[in-house]
Amino acid sequence: MTVEPATALAVVTSTTAAQLVRPISPIMFRFSTVVYLYLAVVASVQAQQQQGNSPLRAIGQFVDGVANLFQARGNRLADVPIQSRLVQYNDGNVRLTGYLAYPLENGTARPGILIAHDFNGRDAFEDGKANDLARLGYVAFAYDLYGKVGATTEENIALMRPFTENRDLLLKRIQLSLDQLKQAPGVNQNMLGAIGFCFGGMAVLDMARANLAGVQVVVSFHGTLDPPPTTNTSSIRAKVLVCHGHNDSSITPDKVPVTHPTYSTNRVFS
């Protein structure tokens, strides 16, 4: 699968941070504070390694800076008024319930962020991310793929399985959810992005592979990297950032395509 020249792809891991495949060019808009904190850590560690210093020194300096940053900005962000509500939508007979959060301030249309849940389904974690993003000025929608949440890990895995086995079904539910975000008040339908965790990371990567309309950038956190059996598009237009832990036992470094020394920036997960 080829990548448009303007598209930048990087995989960030704890041991390959100093050997990023290609630097990320300025993204059209910020997604969430956590993405930038992560990249700042990487940059700081790189600089210290180049100077022959321990990465721990860089991390220590960075933590001090972050503490000062949040002390200065925390009150302001907390004071930004937001509106939040549940949004119900349907896929046939399946009733889905997402969580929408957005700033109350009127003004120009704002970028929209879709939040893709992990195998546990939508819960307080994703809703909290939506609130955080709304306080930063975005329209955020935490989607619901299942229509319910299982009482046990086994039940949630069973709810996830139809989507991992049928990626067309997954993409269909994603598109329905993206449509809800597009209908949200004050959203710019041409400036959309997505963040996803684990199973949700796989979902947002599929969004990029499918070139869903309006999606400019996706960020996967420890996501499943396997592509669907068939992909209809020949190029990915969105910018893609993959944040993957080097010690993740479920997806080892040799299974992360772009960390391989022979990786070409003209190939993406293929």
pLDDT in tens, 1-51: 333 333 334 444 333 322 222 233 333 334 444 444 444 444 544 555 555
Q: What is the pLDDT of residue 101?
A: 96
Q: Which of 243, 252, 223, 214 is nearest to 17 (CA)?
A: 243
pLDDT at 52 (0 to 100): 57
| Closest to 149 in 3D by CA, of 137, 160, 140 | 160
Q: Comparing 27-41, 156-170, 250-264, which segment has the lowest mean pLDDT?
A: 27-41
Which residues neighbour 181 within 8 Å (Cβ) at sequence distance 6 or greater? 100, 112, 113, 114, 139, 141, 187, 192
For residues 181-204, average pLDDT: 95
Q: Which is more confidently placed, 221 or 63? A: 221
Who wins on pLDDT, 60 or 21? 60
Model-level pTM? 0.71
Is residue 30 a contact partner of residue 36, using CB atoms and an 8 Å limit? yes
The pLDDT value recorded for residue 212 is 95
How many Å is the maximal CA-CA distance in the chain? 60
> HSE-up of 4 (CA within 13 Å, CB side)?
13
Distance CA 245, CA 241 (A): 13
Consecutive H or E run containing 258 = none
If you average pLDDT over residues 124-135, what whole number do you get? 95
Q: Is 26 helix (H, G, I), strand (E, B) or coil?
A: coil
The count of other CB atoms within 10 Å of the CB of residue 90 is 10
In terms of average pLDDT, the best of 30-39, 58-67, 85-94 is 85-94
Q: Quickly state the pLDDT bin for 258 (edges 50, 70, 90).
A: low
Q: Which long-range contacts (CB under 8 A, 24 or more apart) does 91-96 make?
A: 91/172, 91/173, 91/176, 94/147, 95/147, 96/143, 96/144, 96/145, 96/146, 96/147, 96/173, 96/176, 96/177
